[in-house]
């Protein structure tokens, strides 16, 4: 039974740590309703702190890369991710019991070993052309001459990339049904109703054991299209390695056994959901930063035109530093965890606090400023730049999502004049557990630059118009 200081006192080892004094319910309310305020308050507490949440109890927040290295390097039996997630949210009901994030220990390592090759090296190279093609289509259909929320366009293109690069779904009718089904599921997960249902389940402490009928229905709609594709693929003897599904259908464990349909559905649903919102919000934040920073936008455009990748990669890294899609990740300790001068007892939730690591002035001078240059001189640190978590649970889509973000940004800046709509950059909002631009990051795209260049007489001056923010 995990230790729960909502009912008991803090263990002796943790009593000396700075602590968020608000009650658990107030902390949860702030997290759900005012994410920026939640993060700001915890920042005042320093590198190690305790914050208490309803049901899941006390978490130990960590922001020092040295501590985070210990957590991420702990072996698979010492810290659990799946079990930690299960205490915090009904994610398993949405993603399914066999999805990779729900597993721990040897079972997780075994499945991760099977899935990982589909997202790396040679495999990624094969998806690259598809990703670039989808990015160009996104630029072609980007609304021109009227403000449009970048998040909507970005969600569409990331979903199309996942559907074609991951699933290889190309049949137009099926693509459309899958797109609609996934968007409906994403929207339901981010709805106030689901938030309320989740809050009630948390308050009842029933461990999210009950079903959420609307989620079940939307999940079934996604699975029915996914299963059509799976069945069709299984029916042909031809094996494919140009998309993730083809590779997953071909994987065999040591006993020569492949993945069954329910498990394939769980893993594919995880990729559809885990890979869409996260990458879309990164693209939207990048566009928001760039349109509010003409010097950075010009430098990006110049470097893309010159065929250089350095600044583009730095823009992606700086965006993920300032606006990581997940503000923190979690582990449940399965035995005492030894940090320098502190032993964290077993059955404690430990939260490497991604957003706060990225805001440390000792690691990133002027930490709140958007300065891609800071990443031009070298690779980001393994434990000081952690938008994708780390260790054995590091995001398997990290390389793919950075490739996607870079591809979409480079095509957009090359083909469109992008302008800000609001005077100030977007504030932090939340959609489900993903940190998103609260106003959707509206962008005003003007006519394609190529056309403008061809008509030399015409000069388009970027302008800023004031629009009320949709949400703050």
Q: What are phi and psi of 349, to 5 degrees?
A: -80, 125
The C-alpha atoms of residue 152 and residue 146 are separated, in whole angstroms, by 14
282 binds ligand HEM (CB under 6 A): yes
The C-alpha atoms of residue 403 and residue 395 are separated, in whole angstroms, by 14
The set of residues, in sequence order, having a beta carbon less than 8 Å from that of 15 and lying 6+ positions away, is: none
DSSP strands (E only) in 29-91: 48-53, 57-62, 79-80
Task: Tell me the per-residue interface mask from 320 to 359 with ligand HEM, x by CB under 6 A, - otherwise.
Answer: ----xxx--x------------------------------
Q: Which of residues 100 and 416 has its CB atom nearest to ligand HEM in the complex?
A: 100
Q: Which of residues 154 and 339 has its CB atom nearest to ligand HEM in the complex?
A: 154
Q: What is the DSSP letter of 48?
A: E
Closest distance between ligand HEM and the C-beta of residue 395, in Å? 3
| Residue whose tokens read 């936008």 | 297
101 binds ligand HEM (CB under 6 A): yes
Closest distance between ligand HEM and the C-beta of residue 243, in Å? 11
The set of residues, in sequence order, having a beta carbon less than 8 Å from that of 209 and lying 6+ positions away, is: none
Closest distance between ligand HEM and the C-beta of residue 163, in Å? 11
The C-alpha atoms of residue 329 and residue 348 are separated, in whole angstroms, by 14
The C-alpha atoms of residue 270 and residue 298 are separated, in whole angstroms, by 37
**Binding segment for ligand HEM among 55-63, 245-253, 284-292, 394-402 (CB under 6 A)?**
394-402
Vertex 90 angle, CA 47 and 169, to 5°: 105
Closest distance between ligand HEM and the C-beta of residue 158, in Å? 8
Q: Which of residues 282 and 317 has its CB atom nearest to ligand HEM in the complex?
A: 282
Q: What are phi and psi of 298, to 5 degrees?
A: -65, -40
278 binds ligand HEM (CB under 6 A): yes
DSSP strands (E only) in 328-415: 331-333, 337-339, 342-344, 349-352
The C-alpha atoms of residue 100 and residue 110 are separated, in whole angstroms, by 10
Q: Which of residues 3 and 127 has its CB atom nearest to ligand HEM in the complex?
A: 127
**Binding segment for ligand HEM among 31-39, 133-141, 167-175, 384-392 (CB under 6 A)?**
384-392
Closest distance between ligand HEM and the C-beta of residue 329, in Å? 3
How many amino acids of this chain bind ligand HEM (CB under 6 A)?
27
**Binding segment for ligand HEM among 42-50, 191-199, 220-228, 273-281 (CB under 6 A)?**
273-281
393 binds ligand HEM (CB under 6 A): yes
Closest distance between ligand HEM and the C-beta of residue 203, in Å? 26
Closest distance between ligand HEM and the C-beta of residue 154, in Å? 11
Closest distance between ligand HEM and the C-beta of residue 35, in Å? 15
The C-alpha atoms of residue 269 and residue 95 are separated, in whole angstroms, by 6
Task: Tell me the per-residue interface mask from 168 to 187 with ligand HEM, x by CB under 6 A, - otherwise.
Answer: --------------------
271 binds ligand HEM (CB under 6 A): yes
What are the strands of the beta sheet with 57-62, ordered from one edge? 48-53, 57-62, 349-352, 331-333, 79-80
Of 174, 179, 164, the closest CA to residue 134 belongs to 164
Strand, coil or helix: 62 = strand
389 binds ligand HEM (CB under 6 A): yes
Beta bridge partners of residue 57, listed in sequence order? 53
432 binds ligand HEM (CB under 6 A): no
388 binds ligand HEM (CB under 6 A): yes
The enclosing H or E element of 148 equals strand 147-149
Query: Per the structure block, which two tokens stand in for 16?
Result: 């000396």
Rg (CA), the chain: 22
Task: Tell me the per-residue interface mask from 401 to 430 with ligand HEM, x by CB under 6 A, - otherwise.
Answer: x-----------------------------
Closest distance between ligand HEM and the C-beta of residue 146, in Å? 27
What is the longest distance spanned by two Cα atoms in the chain?
74
Query: Per the structure block, which two tokens stand in for 456?
Result: 């030399």
Q: Which of 327, 390, 420, 425 binds ligand HEM (CB under 6 A)?
A: 390
Q: Which of residues 36 and 144 has its CB atom nearest to ligand HEM in the complex?
A: 36
Q: Rounded to whole angstroms, what are the CA distances from 436 to 129, 145, 315, 388, 426?
A: 28, 24, 17, 16, 9
Q: Which of residues 352 and 425 has its CB atom nearest to ligand HEM in the complex?
A: 352
Q: Which of 201, 270, 349, 438 binds ligand HEM (CB under 6 A)?
A: 270
Closest distance between ligand HEM and the C-beta of residue 321, in Å? 11
Residues that bind ligand HEM (CB under 6 A): 81, 100-101, 112, 166, 270-271, 274-275, 278-279, 282, 324-326, 329, 387-390, 393-397, 400-401
């Amino acid at each position: 039974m995990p230790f729960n200081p909502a009912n008991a006192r803090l263990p002796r080892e943790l009593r000396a740590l700075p602590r968020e004094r608000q009650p658990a319910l107030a902390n949860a309310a702030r997290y759900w309703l005012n994410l920026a305020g939640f993060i700001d308050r915890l920042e005042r507490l320093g590198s190690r702190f305790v914050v208490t949440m309803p049901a899941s109890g006390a978490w130990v927040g960590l922001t020092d890369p040295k501590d985070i290295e210990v957590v991420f390097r702990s072996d698979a039996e010492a810290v659990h991710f799946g079990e930690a997630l299960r205490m915090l949210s009904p994610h398993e009901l949405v993603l399914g019991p066999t999805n990779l994030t729900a597993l721990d220990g040897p079972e997780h390592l075994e499945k991760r070993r099977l899935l990982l090759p589909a997202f790396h090296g040679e495999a990624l190279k094969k998806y690259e052309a598809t990703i670039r093609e989808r990015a160009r289509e996104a630029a072609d259909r980007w609304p021109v001459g009227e403000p449009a929320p970048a998040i909507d366009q970005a969600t569409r293109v990331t979903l199309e990339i996942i559907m074609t690069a991951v699933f290889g779904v190309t049949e137009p009718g099926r693509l459309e049904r899958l797109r609609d089904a996934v968007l409906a599921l994403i929207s339901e997960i981010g709805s106030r109703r689901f938030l309320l249902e989740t809050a009630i389940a948390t308050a009842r402490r029933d461990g999210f054991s009950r079903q959420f009928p609307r989620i079940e229905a939307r999940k079934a709609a996604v699975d029915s299209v996914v299963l059509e594709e799976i069945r069709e693929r299984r029916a042909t003897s031809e094996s494919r390695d140009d998309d993730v599904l083809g590779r997953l259908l071909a994987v065999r464990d040591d006993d020569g056994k492949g993945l069954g349909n329910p498990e394939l559905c769980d893993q594919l649903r995880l990729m559809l959901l885990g890979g869409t919102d996260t990458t879309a919000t990164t693209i939207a934040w990048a566009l928001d930063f760039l349109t509010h920073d003409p010097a950075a936008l010009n430098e990006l455009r110049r470097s893309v035109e010159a065929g250089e990748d350095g600044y583009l990669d730095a823009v992606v890294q700086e965006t993920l530093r300032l606006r990581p899609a997940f503000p923190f990740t979690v582990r449940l300790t399965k035995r005492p965890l030894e940090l320098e001068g502190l032993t964290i007892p077993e059955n404690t939730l430990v939260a490497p606090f991604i957003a706060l690591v990225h805001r440390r002035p000792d690691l990133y001078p002027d930490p709140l400023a958007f300065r891609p240059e800071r990443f031009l001189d070298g690779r980001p640190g393994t434990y000081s730049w952690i938008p994708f978590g780390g260790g054995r649970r590091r995001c398997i889509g990290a390389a793919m999502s950075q490739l996607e973000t870079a591809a979409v940004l480079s095509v957009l800046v090359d083909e469109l004049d992008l302008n800000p709509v609001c005077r100030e950059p977007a504030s932090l909002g939340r959609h489900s557990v993903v940190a998103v631009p609260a106003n959707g990051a509206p962008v005003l795209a003007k006519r394609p630059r190529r056309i403008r260049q061809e008509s030399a007489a015409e000069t388009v001056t970027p302008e800023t118009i004031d629009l009320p923010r949709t949400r703050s």
